[in-house]
Amino acid sequence: MVYEIRIKGQVQGVGFRPFVYCLATEMQLSGYVNNTNEGVLIEIVASEKIKDFTESLLSKAPKLAKITELSTKQINRLPKYSEGFHIIKSQSGDKRNVLLSPDFGICEQCSNEIDNQKNHRFQYAFTTCTYCGPRYSIIKQLPYDREHTSMGVFEMCDDCRQEYQNVNDRRYFSQTNSCKKCGIKLTLFDNQKRQIADNDSAVIEQTIKAISEGKIVAVKGIGGYLLMCDATQPSTIETLRLRKHRPLKPFAVMYPSLVALEKQIEVRAEEREILTNEVAVIVLLSTNIQLSTAGLVGVMLPYTPLFQLICQKIDRPLIATSGNLSHSPIIYQDAKALDELSEIADFILVNNREIVVPQDDSVLRFTPKYNKKIVLRRSRGLAPTFILPSFFAQNNIIAMGAMLKSTFTITHENNVYVSQYLGDLEDFDSQENYKNTLSHLSNVLSFTPQTVLVDMHKAYSSTEMGRTIANEKQLKLAEIQHHKAHFAAVLAENNLLDSSEPILGVIWDGTGLGEDGQIWGGEFFSFRSNSIERVGHFEYFPNLMGDKMAREPRLSALAVCSSFFENLDFLKEKFSDLEWNIYQKHLKQAKMLQNSSVGRLFDAMASLLGIADKVSYEGEAAINIESIAQAYLNENGIPNEIYEIVILPQNTLSIQHLLQGVSNDLNQNVNIGKIALKFHLTMIESVNMIANKLNISKIAFSGGVWQNALLVDLVIERLSNFELYFHQQLSPNDECISFGQVAFFELINRNKS
Amino acid sequence: LGHGSGGVLTNKLLESGVFDLLKNPILDEHHDGAIFELDGKLAFSTDSYVISPVFFPGGNIGELAINGTVNDLAMCGAIPKYLSLSFILEEGLTMTEFWEILLSIKAAAEKSGIFIVTGDTKVVERGKGDKIFINTSGVGQLHPKAAISAKRVQVGDKVIVSGNIATHGIAIMSVREGLDFETSIESDTINLNHTVEALLDTFGNDIHLFRDPTRGGVATVLNEIARDTKLGINIQQKDIPVIEEVYGACELLGLDPLYVANEGVFMAIVSAEIADDCLKKLQTFENGQNAAIIGEVVSEHPRQVVLQSRIGGKRVINMLVGEQLPRIC
Ligand SMILES: [Fe+3]
Ligand SMILES: [Mg+2]
Ligand SMILES: [Zn+2]
Ligand SMILES: [Zn+2]
């Protein structure tokens, strides 16, 4: 009997065909396997063994493979091969249904090979195999074949070709296969575009020397250029801060090895696992080493052979931060790097493999007590794959996402793609990058949109772009409220869209435009029978001075206090007389925009506690207030009192009572760490009260505030009698908005039908 | 007006002073309208002036009303000739205040060389106006060498601003907000027609467009040009002239100087070949001393205005969409 097996999912470029080949050969079955635009197609001649075979396909698949669908069907024709098993060349069709593979960090075997003097890839900076190396960042077209990637221009030498054709080799059909003889070349330039070295070993030697001497080198990695320098030389870091116009925002650190890292910082099992697996992300670790900020430092391990060669030799932690200027996206083109990164870096290490899709490093953290994973930035290694087998939405949707942490989501052939983090769209290059990534992914997948989803906020660049697309192509356009999108995202990620029980959504973030024209951000929603209703929120306070408010927590403090206190003199010292007079005048205006943002409430607290009046980067105040509360908790445990919670009509949470409590504590010189912790606890208790009042037993959390690990730990601890749902693959911040727009739109459609 | 009420005083006032002060041969005719001769292509423009406060550092509503229309004509490439002037006065405006406004009107008209040839005054009850509203309409003769049109803007053209930007808007706001700056910021309201005429004399049709970035500021004008021409515009933050105090005030108020209103400033889009000469010429005028080339017209990013930031990175300068709602999450 002849069977046709079709497999969908992340099955290309992960050693799937050789795996099928080996399995079939082992079981003495004949037939063939090939890559198609839809995934993998197997034709096999089998009888009773077919069940065994398909089961093994699922259970023994290579670790990088992710199967979303496997269908077996008996066919009534003669087999193409009745003897032996064959891997045949890919076929192109119209449908592009295969899931794109993300980029993978270097595998253990490749890592050993480049250290092994006897191996012919000794010190080869682009060593890869089917288990590792770039994928999404180099793909130009589907199916994933060498000529469809930036590797297409490199002709394999005889040795490499032999590996490539040997089914028993780890590099069988490895599209990124190359070696010193036939592969990618390194060139080192100084910041005047003068070539310093172009012999690979000389380049690496000089790079190591430069970094050791305290110089900054821009190194082309997988998703773009990283700025690297010695993390143990404070003057070098100072120079980097100055040149990058980044006074305080922490830098990520690359340790030469796990061993070296663990000598300095305690690493927990979950963290170790994710630092060393194929995703190779940045993990925020709790520590007080000199490089840390607010008790945290972002670390990663060398995830490419090149980084390994550089780091191991220097044997000290290196700063490794995205090569970009201020808010712009990571630079990935060589010419641009030579032009622009020369303002920051002393040297630029170029290689001649083109990056097609630029990506930043992904960033994760784990909550200190319950090890709950929080995605802070989903990018290289994680995007664009978004496997959510239970989630179905209409096909051919583009959801444009938010503004400051932009992503887009497209639905295509029953797959969902959530783009990598695409940055702040006020920045021109980020906008271009967003547009390019969208059109690239659309081309690769042959995607044509029918529906465009945008935020309600008309001044979001993503909204404007979405409107333009909808106008030009005459597509259906729908506006979706920001926080409803947040909620829908976390619901869908947890497979809750079909839930028959009501779910409370606790959506806390910075700002989003609300349906009443005010600024929302401290919202409670209920989800029942396909619909999302706003059921409560934090008490409104004035939105002062537009976006300036988000940059100056003291403005939040002033705005919050002005609504509820007569005498504001205690805030006066935070302002010049001139500022004070102006802001007072503004606050007296009748038509102030109102705001219910918990993000701004955290800002206000940070300012009241004297931690931050102005911030130099987004999230600075929030990180610092979390940090002092966590530190207090670690020292003293949970205090036995919290602030008074008063629920006003329409489930409006009083801020006045909270502030009164904080103010009393401040007057009595209570430790600010304790106040910060009591504030966190009060916030959690308010969720408890609202959930009880509404008699809802399931709670889902989304919004940027939930990047706060302490808050998440406290939820898990204090709300243990509820069923709790958090984001899993996506970030709770605005990166999840595009997917949430899709999920919310799905709810709208369900309601219609 | 402080001591009068109703229409009786109005007529008296009219006869006994208002337009006497502004007299010229055509106005003296006392017709229902003005009669004059003009040849060739004409430009015609109208604007109403409503501003609070009426008196602000560096000027008042009167000269604003003259300069505004004079400048609108100049921006068309015309030489302003004749002007109509109408007042709507609210009871309660004092005679002293009104007189001061009239004097500035007279001075501004003389300075620009435009003749006020017809006018009207109405008084409304207290509460039905805001002290004083002025409408002016003007006619001008097109400069023989002028060829001003968005259609003529092309890739490579340079963008010139004639002076420090945002000064007027901040001067107004400083009074409204009670900003007490160390050195007071004064409005730069002034007639631009002589400068414009001289530029047209010298550079003729190499000047492709004039615009005065009044309400909505430089950003709005640039966006309109980008939209109308379907071309892109790049500007350099480091080249945009802004007085330090104005910059500080913008910081304080969370404003971007590019969106703040101007009065005594115009923008010119000129062909690249003459841009430097045009700038030099402009700088010889009193109101052009701080002129600068701030950017150029490009083929990339059609319809978009992009600012090269001082610290690296580029920012998209959007058209303001209604009220500025915060976007940072
Ligand atoms: Fe948000
Ligand atoms: Mg006008
Ligand atoms: Zn490998
Ligand atoms: Zn080779």
Tens-digit pLDDT profile for residues A67-107: 988 999 999 989 999 899 998 876 665 566 677 889 999 99
Q: What is the mean pLDDT of residues B282-307?
A: 96
The label of the residue with tokens 């044509």 reads A448
Task: Give yes or no for A360 touching B (CB within 8 A).
Answer: no
Does residue B285 contact residue B198 with C-beta atoms inside 8 Å?
yes
In terms of Cβ atoms closer than 10 Å to its own Cβ (0-12, 13-18, 19+), residue A115 is middle
Q: A510 to chain B: which residues are within 8 Å by CB? A: 328-329
Portion 207-226 of B in contact with A at CB < 8 A: none
Most confident by average pLDDT, A289-298, A381-390, B30-39:
A289-298
Q: Do A550 and B328 make contact, defined as CB atoms within 8 angstroms?
A: yes
Write the residue in B313, B321, B328 that is nearest to A427 by C-beta.
B313
Measured from the Cβ of residue A753, the count of other Cβ atoms closer than 10 Å reads: 4
* Residue A15 pLDDT greater than 80, yes or no: yes
Is-catalytic flag, A246? no
| Fold topology of A186-364 | DHBP synthase (3.90.870)
Q: Give A526's contacts (C-beta < 8 A, 6+ positions apart).
A: A502, A503, A504, A505, A532, A533, A535, A694, A696
Identify the structural domains of chain B with CATH numbers, from first to last.
6-142 (3.30.1330.10), 150-317 (3.90.650.10)
Task: Give yes or no for A460 touching B (CB within 8 A).
Answer: yes
Q: Where are the domains of chain A?
A: 2-87, 186-364, 384-482, 541-695
Q: What is the mean pLDDT of residues B33-47?
A: 91
Tell me the β-bridge partners of A43.
A4, A32
Q: Chain centroid to CA B153: how far?
A: 21
* Residue B123 pLDDT greater than 60, yes or no: yes
In terms of Cβ atoms closer than 10 Å to its own Cβ (0-12, 13-18, 19+), residue B34 is middle
| Nearest-angstrom CA–CA distance, A508 and A522 | 5
| Fold topology of A541-695 | Nucleotidyltransferase; domain 5 (3.30.420)
Q: B329 to chain A: which residues are within 8 Å by CB? A: 402-405, 482, 509-512, 599, 704, 733-734
Q: Do A546 and B326 make contact, defined as CB atoms within 8 angstroms?
A: yes
pLDDT band for position A11 (cuts 50, 70, 90)? confident
B190: helix, coil or strand? coil
Most confident by average pLDDT, A30-44, A355-369, B44-58, B160-174:
A355-369
| Nearest-angstrom CA–CA distance, A193 and A363 | 32
So what CATH class is A384-482? alpha beta
Half-sphere exposure of A291 (CA within 13 A, CB side): 26
Same fold flag, A2-87 and A384-482: no
Burial A245-281 (b: 16+ CB within 10 A, else e): bbeeebbbbbbbbeebbeebbebeeebeebbbebbbb
Tell me, in angstroms, the distance from the centre of ligand 4 to residue A183's CA: 6
Pairing assessment for the beta strands A253-254 and A296-300 based on DSSP bridges: parallel
- Beta-strand ranges (E) seen in A29-65 are 30-36, 39-45
Nearest to A515 by CA among A343, A305, A744, A669: A744
pLDDT value at position A482? 98
Both tokens assigned to B45: 């423009």
Q: What is the mean pLDDT of residues B18-23?
A: 74
Q: Chain centroid to CA B10: how far?
A: 30
Both tokens assigned to A485: 């999108």
A503-515 pLDDT per residue, tens: 999 999 999 999 9
Task: Give yes or no for A547 touching B (CB within 8 A).
Answer: yes
* Residue B7 pLDDT greater than 50, yes or no: no
CA distance between the termini of chain A = 43
Both tokens assigned to A74: 């008996």
The label of the residue with tokens 């490439």 reads B77
Task: Give yes or no for A578 touching B (CB within 8 A).
Answer: yes
| Nearest-angstrom CA–CA distance, A480 and A737 | 10
Q: A404 to chain B: which residues are within 8 Å by CB? A: 327-329
Does residue A556 contact residue A616 with C-beta atoms inside 8 Å?
no
Q: What is the CATH number of domain A2-87?
A: 3.30.70.100
Tell me, in angstroms, the distance from the centre of ligand 2 to residue A593's CA: 30
pLDDT value at position B28? 65
Portion 229-268 of B in contact with A at CB < 8 A: 252-254
Q: Do B254 and A546 make contact, defined as CB atoms within 8 angstroms?
A: yes
B1: helix, coil or strand? coil
pLDDT band for position A339 (cuts 50, 70, 90)? very high
Tell me, in angstroms, the distance from the centre of ligand 4 to residue A422's CA: 35
pLDDT value at position A591? 82
Is-catalytic flag, A17? yes
ipTM above 0.90, yes or no: no
A410-465 pLDDT per residue, tens: 999 888 999 999 999 999 999 999 999 999 999 999 999 999 999 999 999 999 99
Task: Give yes or no for B178 touching A (CB within 8 A).
Answer: yes
